[in-house]
Structure 1
Amino acid sequence: MAGYDDRDGFIWMDGKLVEWRQANVHILTHALHYASSVFEGERCYNGKIFKSSEHSARLLRSGEMLDMPIPYTVEQINAAKEEVLKANGLTDAYIRAIAYRGAGDEMGVASLNNPVRLAVACWTWGAYYGDAKMKGAKLDIAKWKRPSPETIPCEAKASGLYMICTMAKHAAQAKGCSDAMMFDYRGYVAEATGANIFFVKDGEVHTPAPDCILNGITRQTVIGMLRDMQIKVHERHIEAHELAGFEQCWLTGTAAEVTPVGQIGEYTFEVGDITRRVATEYEALVRA
């Protein structure tokens, strides 16, 4: 496909559908210089956006945490997503809603007088990790750590928080890996660069407590599924040495969906029964 700036179609911007190639912002847009932006990634399956309202509500909460009130309601954001899907003729798509401080009266760190903008785009996007969804992704171990919640608004899906994720993923790809697993500031297992992580041991599931990472909507969905399956889930701090004892591993996220992991650094995992069952049932749920 063409680059993301050179495609046919429409993007919703501040209440209007704009031709794709004309959906631009000024070079002095505050968000470009100071990362004053929040976003959501969502998927539409068979014409239905999975957990659309939950994503829209989180977008608004993220804006509030960045002192950036977004001037739309959940219902208006939901309607914008439906409008852009219809305009582009898509029923199976990835959707990106982004709110950001635009260009305005201020161009320093402070930006209260600059307007908050909202845009929604959608496009077709297959498996985030390609064929790793079948055979298991290979992960590097990142040198960057997720920071303390005293230093960042870790519950916000804020663009600036992904800077170290980009660097970690670039380093992983240079080693032939699909992604990287990150530790947190205390040395506990945290997450991948854009997905939450789960492990299996002796028929039970272990996943990092979301006390300094984003508590993903897909993560919460999968935990609910596991409990419905009567599989015990431990949300806790996971130490590095425990990786050697886990039997299975997978990632969750809107883009990642449920992706098995076959290797993290020197540690290997099987794509076992629980992993396959979760992936299958998640696929059925989102297409129900």
Structure 2
Amino acid sequence: MAGYDDRDGKIWMNGKLVEWRDANVHILTHALHYASSVFEGERCYNGKIFKSVEHSERLIRSAELLDMEIPYSIEEIEAAKYAVLEANGWTDAYVRVIAWRGAGEDMGVASRKNPVQLAVAAWAWGNYYGDAKMKGAKLDIAKWRRPDPATIPHEAKAAGLYMICTMSKHAAEDKGCSDAMMYDYRGYVAEATGANIFFVKDGEVHTPKPDAFLDGITRRTVIGMLQERGITVHERHIMPEELEGFEQCWLTGTAAEVTPVGQIGDYTFEVGTLTREISEAYEALVRA
């Protein structure tokens, strides 16, 4: 497949659909130099974007946390997403919405004189972790940690917060792993580089408390599914030494959906019944 900059199709950019190869920004775009951008990753199933409005609402909140005001309403953002899907003839696709500070009068750390811009792109994207959907992903343990919330707006889905995630995922891939699990600044289990994490022990589910990382939309969806089934879910701080006692593990995220984990570092997990049931139930939910 061609690179993401060299494809046929349409991208919505600042109020209009443009040719894919023409969706460009200036080299002095503030976001390129200072990471002043926020984004959403969404999936469209059978012509409907799952939790679409929730994603748009979070985009607005993320921008506000970065002191940015997106010049489009939620209704306009929603219309832009579906315009992209229609223009490209897609009913099943991954949708990427991004807002950023563009080029303008400012080219230092301050950027209030620069316009906030918005774009929507989409493309076909299969299983984020490939065949791990069946046999379970293999995760490294990252050396980088999710920072103290006093140092970053951890509730924002902001591009700059993913720098250490990229580095951690590269290191994991070098070891033959699909991804990496990260600890937080206190040493508690946090998340993978782009997905939240769940564990199973004695029929109950344990997942890290999202007080230093993004509380994912898919994460909340899966917690609701588990609770509807009468399964106890513990949102709490999880110590690294507890990994040895967990029986099952899975990841959640818009891209990851529900992906089983077979190994984290030296710890192994079965792709058990509950993991498969939740994965299948999620697949049914998003296509309902």
Provide the TM-score with structure 1 as the length reference: 1.00
Deviations 1:146-170 (A, max 9, x none): 0000000000000000000000000
2:198 is equivalent to residue 198 of structure 1: yes
Match of 2:273 in 1: 273
Match of 2:177 in 1: 177
Report the secondary structure of 1:41's partner residue.
Answer: strand
Give the aligned residue type for 1:86.
Answer: E
CA–CA separation in structure 2 for the residues paired with 1:133 and 1:144: 26
2:148 is equivalent to residue 151 of structure 1: no
CA–CA separation in structure 2 for the residues paired with 1:259 and 1:85: 26
Deviations 1:69-100 (A, max 9, x none): 11111111010000000001000000000000
Deviations 1:156-207 (A, max 9, x none): 0000000000000000000000000000000000000000000000000000
CA–CA separation in structure 1 for the residues paired with 2:38 and 2:119: 11
CA–CA separation in structure 2 for the residues paired with 1:281 and 1:131: 19
Report the secondary structure of 2:238's partner residue.
Answer: coil
Match of 2:112 in 1: 112
Give the aligned residue type for 1:34.
Answer: Y
Aligned-residue sequence identity (percent) comes to: 80
Report the secondary structure of 2:251's partner residue.
Answer: strand
2:228 is equivalent to residue 228 of structure 1: yes
CA–CA separation in structure 1 for the residues paired with 2:255 and 2:192: 12
Q: Shift in Å at residue 211 of structure 1?
A: 0.3
Trace 1:1-288 onto structure 2 (pairs within 5 A): 1-288=1-288
Give the aligned residue type for 1:211.
Answer: D
CA–CA separation in structure 1 for the residues paired with 2:76 and 2:271: 41
Report the secondary structure of 1:113's partner residue.
Answer: coil
Give the aligned residue type for 1:149.
Answer: P
Provide the TM-score with structure 2 as the length reference: 1.00
Q: Shift in Å at residue 265 of structure 1?
A: 0.1
CA–CA separation in structure 2 for the residues paired with 1:174 and 1:54: 35
Report the secondary structure of 1:211's partner residue.
Answer: coil
CA–CA separation in structure 1 for the residues paired with 2:133 and 2:160: 28
Q: Where in structure 1 are there 5+ consecutive unaligned residues?
A: none
Q: Where in structure 2 are there 5+ consecutive unaligned residues?
A: none
CA–CA separation in structure 2 for the residues paired with 1:252 and 1:96: 18
Moved beyond 6 Å, runs of 4+? none
CA–CA separation in structure 2 for the residues paired with 1:277 and 1:212: 29
Give the aligned residue type for 1:239.
Answer: M
CA–CA separation in structure 1 for the residues paired with 2:153 and 2:240: 25
Deviations 1:184-233 (A, max 9, x none): 00000000000000000000000000001100000000000000010000
Give the aligned residue type for 2:33.
Answer: H
